[in-house]
Structure 1
C-alpha cells in the first residue's frame, strides 16, 4: 500500500486520464476533439498513445470495436460533449450487441452548468446506460483512475461490450490526485463444474443427431482451438451464426453445415430441426433468434461465459458456465468414441459439400452483367486467403457472403448481425488494419452502406491503411427492397441515384477502380489487391435472385 502523502498531483485531470489509458495498454484513441474535451487531446500529445482523428464519431466507435474484437482489449473512442456524444450512440449500441469491448470517453459541460440550459448540455450517462455494460460520470477528479479502470473491466469481462465515461470539463481541466491503476490483465474463469460436464458427456454419448451451434464467443482464438480438439474427438456436426465465422477449421469442414441467420432455410437449420441434442457454444440470442431454430424437441445445452438469458424459446436443460476453452477441453476428454452420423445428418452435410463444390467449379460461369452475387462471392473467395481479414457491412450482399464465402481462421471475418448496422465495414477495416498492419484487409459494402461512412476514406489515406473496399452497386437499399417486395408486392423509400465511385475514391487520394464487364471482375480485383494503401472497387450487381434467399435455395437452381 502506497503512503497517501506520496500520492501524485497532476496539473490537469486530463493528464491522469491519459496515464490511466497508458496503464490499460491502450495503443490508439479514435475521436474528434471539442472545447469540453480538448485538454485530454492535448495531454495525449505527450503520451505513447496514437491519436487518430476521424470524420464522424460513430466511426470512432466502430474502429475501436474492431480493435476490441480482434484483441480482446477495449478500443477507445474520445469525443466532445453534446452531439459529439450522441453521434456515438449507434457505434456503442452496435459494439454491445456484437460483444465488442469498447470504452468511450465523452466530454461534458462543467458540473456547475449540468442543470442549466447551456451550450451542449446533455444527460449523456442516461443516454448510454441502456446500450452499454457500464455508464458513469466522474464527479470527483480523484476518482478518475477508479472509474476508468472499472469501465475497462466491464467492457472486457465476459461477453464484451461498451462502457461510457462522462468527463465534465472542470474535472479534466483542473488538478487531480491519484495513481494510475495498473491493469492486471483479464479476469480468468475456471471451467464449468465437472459434474455438469459429465452430464453433458452422457447426453452426447446417447444422442443420435447432436449438433453444435456456434456463436460469436466460439470464434475467439483460444475457444476455436479448443473447439478443434472437441470436433476431432467427437465428430459432431456443427453450424454457426454469422458472427462465428472462421471458428471451424478446414479439416472439420466435411461436418460443417455452414452459417445460419436471418431466414430459417439453411443446411444448418435442417440439422437443428432434426437434432435430438443441441449444444450452443458462445452463443447469444441476439445473433439468431431462438424462435427461428429451436423447436423445443431437443435437449439443449448452453456453454458460455455467462448464464443464458431467460427466453421462452431458449431454456437450456444444462448450462456449462465458465471459461469456454477449458470447458470444451474437459468435455473432449470425456468423449469415448466419435459419433457415427445418422443417415439424415449425412444427407444434409453431403448436400452442403456438393453445393460448395458447385460454386467453386461453376461460379465463374455466371457471365451476366450486372454481375450475379455468386460470381462476386466466387471471385472474392480467390483473393481472401488466410492472411487477409474481411469486414462485412449490412445489406443483402452480406447474406450471400455469409452463406457462401468460407473462412478457416478465427476472427478472420467480421459480420454485424446484432444491430445489423450499416456503414460498419470501412471503419472496422481501419481498426483491423491498425491491430495488424502486416495483413491486408478487405471490406465490403453496398453503395448505400458505403456512403454512410465513406468519409473515413480520408482517414484510411492519411494512415496509409492497406485496405481494399469492394462496393456492390445497385443504387438501392436492396435488403429492405427484397423484404418489402415479399410483404407488399412493391417497394418504397429504397431507390437512390448513381455515384461514380472510382472518381469518388480518387478524390480522397485512394486508388479507384470500376468493373465494367463480367470479364473484368477477377483481373480488376487482383489489380486492386496489389495496391499498397487504400483502394476502392465498384462492382455492379444484379440482385434478381435475391427472393430465392428467402426460400429453400439450392445452387443447382442457379449454376
Structure 2
C-alpha cells in the first residue's frame, strides 16, 4: 500500500513495502520463517498486501532449507525471516546449506536501532557470525539505505548463487521514502562468457585421441540449456556418462548412456581407472567426497567459473558457457571406439553394486528404496535426506530432468528432506513430492510435519526407521569400535504424524509395503509412511558403493 501526506504529493512507501516489492520482482511467492515482534511483523504485513504468503515454519533451520528448495525448483529468490539473536543463530545451518549447495536466498533478521548501543540482551555480531556462509550483507537502519537492497538480492542470484544477509531496524522498515526514488530493476543474470578458443582446440585434440573417454556431469548442468547440450555431446561422441548426486537427471537415468553415480568410490572404480580421458561437465568440488583424486587420466574441466580449490589440476580448463563449449567440442567430433554393449554391462554392474535385498525376512533398505521409487507417481519430485538410506534411494530413483531429485551434497546435512519437500511442494504445487528420510533426520525436524499440514502442501514422507544413526554406525564398525552411542529408542512416526494433523501408516512386513506406499502416494495432503527396516545390509552397501 502506498501512502501520501497530501493530495498531489508523490506516493511514499515504508521500508517494508519497498523491500517486499523487490522480492516480488524476483519471483518470490512465499517467505519462510519464525518471526519476532519487531520488524518481522512489518514485513509480513507488507508482503501480505501484495500477495506474498508468509509460511510459519517450526524452526529457522528448516525455513532456510525450504527457501533454498524454492530457489532450485522455480528459480525465484528464497526468502527467510527470523528474529534477532536465537532466531538467526538457529537458521545458520540452513544458511550454510544454501551456501554450499549454491542456492540464492536472503536471510533477514532484526538489528537494534543505532541509539540502542547500550543493549546487551540477545546481542552479538550477527553479520560476522554469518560472514563465512554468505556472499554479502547489508544493514538497513534508515530509508536512505533502501536503494542498496536490490543489488544485494541480485548478488544472491549471481553465479555462484548463495545466501546474503539483510539486517533491518524499525527506522529502516517503518520509515518512509518516495516511491519513485526506489525503482525495482532486478539485474538479469549475467551471460556466461564464451570459452577461450585456444582452450577449445586443446580440448578437441584430447577428445580426438581418447579411446575410452567418460563424462562426469555435475550440479552446473542445472544451468539453462546445459543438460540438453550434455545430452547432444554424449550421444554424438558415444560416451558413458556418470553423474554426481546433484547432477542427477541432466542425462535421464533411463538413457543407455547413463551409467549411474560418480562418488569416486568402489562401484565405478574399475571403469574410472580404465579410462584414458575424463571430461567433467559442470562438476563442482563441493559435490565430491573428502578423499584424494585417484585417477591418472587427464581431465578436461568444463565449468561456469573457476573454483578456489579443487581435487585435481585439469589438463585443460574450459571456463564459461557450458552449452556453447559442448556445441563447439561436438563440431566434427567422431564417435569414440567404445563398444556400446559395454554400456549395458557397466550400467548393470553399477545397479548390482547398490542392490542388497534378501529373499524374505525383514524389510531391507534396498527393498524400501526399490519399491518406493518404482511406485512413485508420474512426475513426482523426490527429496533425499543425508544418511545411509540415501545410498539405495539414489541408486533406484530414476530422474529425467535436473531438479527431479533434491539432495544436499555441499553441506550434506541431516534434517534436509522434509523442509526441502515443503519448499518444493509450495513452489511447484502441480507436482507431487516424496521425501525419503532416515529416522534420525526426521527427528531433527519432525515438527515441520505441522508446517506442511498448515501450509496445505501435498507430499509423502517415507521413513527408513531403524532406530539408529546407521551411516555413522557403519563407519564405527568399519573402524573396529564397539557399538556405542549409535542407537535411538524406538519411535512410532505414524503416531507422531497423526499428532501433527497428517496421515500416518506404519509398515512392518514386506507384504504390507507396496499397498501402503500406493495408498500414501494417492492421498492428498501430508502422509507419513513409517517403515521398520533392518539396517544390517548397510555395511556391505557402503563398502560396495563407496569402497
What is the CA–CA distance in structure 1 between the aligned matches of 2:150 and 2:545, rounded to whole Å?
Answer: 49
Aligned twin of 2:287: 287
> Are 1:339 and 2:332 an aligned pair?
no
Aligned length: 536
Deviation at 1:349, TM superposition (A): 5.3
* Range with greater deviation from structure 2 (133-142 or 273-282): 133-142
Counterpart in the other structure of 2:277: 277
Alignment pair present for 1:14 and 2:7: no
Q: What SS is found at the alignment partner of 2:204?
A: helix
**Structure 2 residue aligned with 1:35:** 37
Could you tell me the TM-score, scaled by structure 2's length? 0.92
Whether the aligned pair in 1 keeps the contact of 2:373 and 2:396 (CA below 8 Å) is: no
Alignment of 1:383-398 (within 5 A): 383-384=375-376, 386-398=378-390
Q: Structure 1 residue 413: deviation in Å?
A: 0.4
**Residues 1:187 and 2:182 aligned together:** no
1:95 to 95, 98, 101: 98
- In structure 2, the residue matched to 1:322 is 320
1:78-157 matches, cutoff 5 A: 78-113=81-116, 115-146=117-148, 148-157=149-158
Q: Is the 8 A contact 1:233 1:335 kept in 2?
A: no
**Residue in 2 that maps onto 1:3:** none
**Distance 1:24-1:381 versus aligned 2 partners, 3 A rule:** closer
Asked whether the equivalents of residues 386 and 407 of structure 1 are also in contact (C-alpha less than 8 Å), the reply is no
Cα separation, 2, equivalents of 1:52 and 1:378: 33
**Contact 2:256–2:343 under 8 Å retained in 1:** no
Matched residues in 1 for 2:145 and 2:437: separation?
A: 42
How does 1:473-488 map onto structure 2 within 5 Å? 473-488=465-480
Q: CA deviation at 1:550?
A: 3.6
Please give the residue correspondences for 1:100-249 in structure 2 after superposition, counting only pairs within 5 Å. Answer: 100-113=103-116, 115-146=117-148, 148-177=149-178, 178-220=181-223, 222-249=225-252
Q: C-alpha distance in 1, partners of 2:332/2:132?
A: 42
1:510 alignment partner, one of 502, 506, 513:
502
Change (3 A) 1:545 1:358: closer
* Partner Cα distance (2:177, 2:132) in 1: 30
The DSSP-based 3-state class of the residue aligned with 2:195 is coil
Say if 1:20 and 1:145, in contact at 8 Å, map to a contact too. Answer: no
Contact residue 16 and residue 180 of structure 1 kept, 8 A: no
Q: Is the 8 A contact 2:285 2:309 kept in 1?
A: no
| TM-score normalised by L of structure 1 | 0.90
> For residues 313 and 286 of structure 2, what CA distance do their matches in structure 1 show?
15
The Cα of 1:59 is off from its aligned counterpart by 0.9
After TM superposition, give the deviation of residue 18 of structure 1 in Å: 1.5
Tell me by how many angstroms 1:284 deviates. 1.5
Question: Do residues 54 (structure 1) and 57 (structure 2) align?
Answer: yes
Which ranges in structure 2 are unaligned for 5 or more consecutive residues?
1-7
The answer to whether the 8 A contact 1:302-1:308 is kept is no
Mapping for residues 405-554 of structure 1, pairs under 5 Å: 405-552=397-544
Q: C-alpha displacement at 1:151, in angstroms?
A: 2.4
Q: Which moved more, 1:493-502 or 1:427-436?
A: 493-502
SS at match of 1:103: strand
- Distance change (3 Å), C-alpha of 1:7 and 1:195: farther
Q: CA deviation at 1:346?
A: 6.5
- Partner residue, 1:350: 345
Alpha carbons 2:257, 2:343 under 8 Å: kept: no
Match of 2:262 in 1: 260
d(CA) in 1 for partners of 2:244 and 2:126? 33
CA contact (8 A) 2:142 2:175 kept: no
Once the two structures are superposed, residues 303-352 of structure 1 have per-residue CA deviations (whole angstroms, 9 ceiling, x without a partner) of: 111113344x42122111112222222222x242111216xx96575143
Q: Who is 2:361 aligned against?
A: 368
Q: Give the direction of change, closer, same or farther, for the CA distance of 1:366–1:292 in structure 2 (3 Å limit).
A: farther
Provide closer, same or farther for how the CA distance between residues 224 and 168 of structure 1 changes in structure 2, counting only shifts above 3 A: same
Structure 1 Cα separation of the partners of residues 124 and 445 of structure 2: 25
Larger mean CA deviation between 418-427 and 280-289 belongs to 280-289
Local SS of the residue matching 1:339:
coil
Shift of 1:257: 2.5
Where 1:454 maps in the other structure, the secondary structure is coil
Shift of 1:126: 0.6
Q: Which runs of 5 or more structure 1 residues have no equivalent in the other structure?
A: 1-5, 555-559
SS at match of 1:254: coil
CA-to-aligned-CA distance 1:7-42 (integer Å, 9 cap, x gap): 966453212112222222311111121123222122
**Residue deviations 1:189-239, cap 9 Å, x none?**
233123322221221111122111111111445211111111121111211
Q: Distance in 2 between matches of 1:279 and 1:100?
A: 25
Q: What's the CA shift for 1:258?
A: 0.9
Helix, strand or coil for the counterpart of 1:91? helix
Distance 1:198 1:181 in 2: 43
Cross-structure match for 1:73:
76
SS at the partner of 1:493?
coil
Does the 8 A contact of 1:272 with 1:294 survive in 2?
no
What do residues 341-366 of structure 1 show as CA deviations (whole Å, max 9, x unaligned)?
16xx9657514325648989x96x64
